[in-house]
Amino acid sequence: MKKKKIEKLFYKSLDSAASPEEDELLQQELKSSEELRKTSRQINEIRQLVSNSAETSFKPFFEERLLTKLNSPSAIEGYFSNWANSLAVSFRQVALAAIIILAVLISFNLNAGNKYSIENLLGISHTNIESAFDPVDNLIGSLK
């Protein structure tokens, strides 16, 4: 239990100033524990390496400039126009495929009948109500 408390105190001391009592307790533990001293050295070395290697790769006020560009009306308009253009291109391809399929179906239906009519165009056959509900007639009609 005490070891966990000391670890928490140690990590707290790395980020912020500890109270005098906590600092004294931590110093006593550092003197008595080789493992804690080793951990402290390793963390300090890592912190030193990170602070020495930190290079700024962005110009000053990068965040403000980025947010200004993102929130500008032209950026929003550009996004929606690109989206609309891609949707229009996709719709054109689907519409063209649908037109080709409809043309093939219409030509098939027109050539299947004897005469050119709306019924042949849509593939509708004349069926009276008796033959529609007569199972024998339906069976024979499907065999023809």
Would residue 67 count as lying in a domain? Answer: no
Would residue 58 count as lying in a domain? Answer: no
Would residue 100 count as lying in a domain? Answer: yes
* Domain count along the chain: 2
Would residue 72 count as lying in a domain? Answer: no
Q: What is the CA radius of gyration of the chain?
A: 41
* Residue 101 half-sphere exposure toward CB, CA atoms < 13 A: 6
Per-residue pLDDT tens for 80-92?
677 777 778 888 8
What residues of the chain score a pLDDT lower than 50?
A: none
46 plus 91 within the same structural domain: no
Helix (H) or strand (E) holding 93: helix 73-112
90 plus 49 within the same structural domain: no
The CB density around residue 130, as the number of other CB atoms within 10 Å, is 8
Per-residue pLDDT tens for 121-130?
666 777 777 7
Range of the domain at 32: 2-53
Q: What pLDDT sits at residue 101?
A: 93
Q: What pLDDT sits at residue 35?
A: 85
93 plus 48 within the same structural domain: no
Would residue 105 count as lying in a domain? Answer: yes
Would residue 9 count as lying in a domain? Answer: yes
Name the residue with tokens 């070891």.
3
Rounded to a whole number, what is the largest CA-CA distance in the chain?
107
Would residue 60 count as lying in a domain? Answer: no
Q: What is the pTM of this model?
A: 0.35
